[in-house]
C-alpha cells in the first residue's frame, strides 16, 4: 500500500510504500503539509 496516515494523538505522519521509499531515498525535494480546514469559497 502506498500513502500516508496522520495520528492526532502523537501529531505524527507515517508514510507507506513508494511514498516512504521516495522519502528514504531522498528523491523528494519538497514536501508541504497543510493542516486545517479548507478556505471558504469566494462568492
Confidence (pLDDT) at 33: 86
Dist CA 40 CA 28 (whole Å): 30
**pTM for this one?**
0.65
Do residues 2 and 17 make contact, with C-beta atoms less than 8 angstroms apart?
Answer: yes
Query: Does the pLDDT of residue 43 top 90, yes or no?
Result: no
pLDDT of amino acid 41? 85
pLDDT in tens, 7-31: 989 999 999 999 999 999 999 989 8
Dihedral of the alpha carbons of 6, 10, 12, 18, in degrees to the nearest 10: -60
Amino acid at each position: 500500500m502506498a500513502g500516508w496516515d496522520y495520528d492526532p494523538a502523537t501529531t505524527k505522519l507515517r508514510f507507506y510504500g513508494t511514498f516512504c521509499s521516495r522519502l528514504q531515498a531522498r528523491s523528494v525535494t519538497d514536501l508541504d503539509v497543510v493542516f486545517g480546514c479548507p478556505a471558504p469559497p469566494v462568492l
